[in-house]
């Protein structure tokens, strides 16, 4: 039988993930002071729950789950977020309309615009993009962190990325970063 994790090991497992936890907290709350409080609350909560952590399982995903639950249960009530867009109301742009099929324009977009498009996604879609695309967590860890099946991670990612790409491409055309297909000829 394996021994329960010793209390002293909590710091060894948890502290290396502080940067990631802070970035996720900042993205969720949109406010540095709130993000700091959320990370502190998360670490305290995780320390108290350390006995339920299974040795050898993924501490990073476990901590993100706690942080996200803490945010949903406590912090979301205090912070205001922009209203999420209605995914069904947004037409996806077909490839035939795409004047920049290799996506070179993505590199020219400013952070604010990408962030705005990301924040406008419904939470369940934004969170998979946040963990998977921004933070680089593998599918399995995203599934563990969000407590959803891996197939759901993949399908939400696919849909979210299509919506985001459509939004950003539309913005790039509107602001002249790329020209519409007919003018590009």
Partner 1 sequence: MTERETGYDCEKAGAELDAFVRGELPLEAAGRMQAHLVRCGHCAQVARHEQAFRDRLRRLSAGCCPDHLKAQIVELLETAAGPDAAT
Minimum distance of partner 1 from residue 173's CB (angstroms): 16
Asked if 6 is part of the footprint of partner 1 (rule: CB under 8 A), the reply reads yes
Minimum distance of partner 1 from residue 183's CB (angstroms): 20
Minimum distance of partner 1 from residue 44's CB (angstroms): 7
Residue with tokens 């209203």: 83
Asked if 134 is part of the footprint of partner 1 (rule: CB under 8 A), the reply reads yes
Asked if 84 is part of the footprint of partner 1 (rule: CB under 8 A), the reply reads no
Asked if 16 is part of the footprint of partner 1 (rule: CB under 8 A), the reply reads no
Report the residue number, 85 or 139, with the smaller CB distance to partner 1.
139
Nearest to 70 by CA among 112, 21, 118, 115: 21
Only segment of 32-40, 61-69, 78-86, 171-179 that touches partner 1 (CB under 8 A): 32-40
Only segment of 68-76, 84-92, 95-103, 177-185 that touches partner 1 (CB under 8 A): 95-103
- Helix and strand numbers, DSSP H then E, in the chain: 9, 0
Minimum distance of partner 1 from residue 82's CB (angstroms): 16
Number of neighbours of residue 26 by Cβ within 10 angstroms: 16
CA–CA separation, 125 vs 93, rounded Å?
19
Q: Which positions from 141 through 180 interact with partner 1, judged by CB under 8 A?
A: 154, 157-158, 161, 164-165
* DSSP line for 105-160: GGGGS-HHHHHHHHHTS-HHHHHHHIIIIIS---HHHHHHHHTS-HHHHHHHHHHH
């Amino acid at each position: 039988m394996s021994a329960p994790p010793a209390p002293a090991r909590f710091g060894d497992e948890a502290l290396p993930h502080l940067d990631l936890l802070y970035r996720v907290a900042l993205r969720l709350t949109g406010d540095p002071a709130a993000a700091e409080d959320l990370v502190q609350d998360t670490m305290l909560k995780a320390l108290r729950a350390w006995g339920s952590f299974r040795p050898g399982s993924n501490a990073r995903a476990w901590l993100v789950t706690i942080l996200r639950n803490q945010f949903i249960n406590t912090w979301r009530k205090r912070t205001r977020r922009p209203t999420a867009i209605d995914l069904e109301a947004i037409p996806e742009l077909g490839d035939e309309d795409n004047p920049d099929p290799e996506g070179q324009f993505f590199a020219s977009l400013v952070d604010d615009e990408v962030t705005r498009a990301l924040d406008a996604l419904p939470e369940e879609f934004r969170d998979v993009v946040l963990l998977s695309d921004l933070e680089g967590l593998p599918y399995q860890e995203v599934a563990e962190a969000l407590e959803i099946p891996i197939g759901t991670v993949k399908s939400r990612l696919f849909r979210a990325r299509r919506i985001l790409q459509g939004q950003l491409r539309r913005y790039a055309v509107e602001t002249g970063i790329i020209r519409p297909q007919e003018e590009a000829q």
